Amino acid sequence: GIPVRTDIAMTGEITLRGKVLPVGGIKEKLLAAHRNGIFEICIPKENEKDLEEIPATILKKLKIHLIGRVQEILDLALDRKQARN
C-alpha cells in the first residue's frame, strides 16, 4: 500500500466519475487546519470563491490546491516516496 501524507488536509465530495464537488464550511475548515499546524490543503476548484472569506494574514501561510478531479488529489496526498522504502 501507499501511505497518505499526514501533513496535508482535504475536503470535498467526489462523484462516482471522479469529479470533485464543492462543499460548505471552507472558511472554518481552513482556519481549523491552520490552527492545528496543517498548512497544505486541497479544496474543490468550485470553492475558490470562498477563499475571499479567509483573512489575508492566514491565507498567505497556506498552500491551497484547487482540485477538479480525484486523480489530482491522489497525486498530492499519497506519499509515494514512503511506499518505495
**Residue 67 and residue 61 in contact, taking contact as beta carbons nearer than 8 Å:** no
C-alpha cell recorded at residue 16: 462516482
How far apart, in whole angstroms, are the C-alpha atoms of residue 53 and residue 36?
A: 19
Question: Percent of the chain scored above 90 by pLDDT?
Answer: 87
Residue range of the domain that includes 25: 8-84
pLDDT single digits (tens) 7-44: 999 999 999 999 999 999 999 999 999 999 999 999 99
Within a domain: 2: no
pLDDT single digits (tens) 41-57: 999 999 999 999 999 99
Within a domain: 1: no
CATH of residue 50's domain is: 3.30.230.10
Overall number of domains in the chain: 1
Q: Find, among 81, 68, 84, the residue nearest to 7 by Cα.
A: 81
Within a domain: 27: yes
Q: In this predicted structure, what is the pLDDT of residue 83?
A: 59
Within a domain: 34: yes
Quick one: CA dihedral 67, 65, 6, 57, positive or negative? negative
Within a domain: 40: yes
pLDDT band at residue 84, thresholds of 50, 70 and 90?
A: low
How far apart, in whole angstroms, are the C-alpha atoms of residue 67 and residue 10?
A: 10
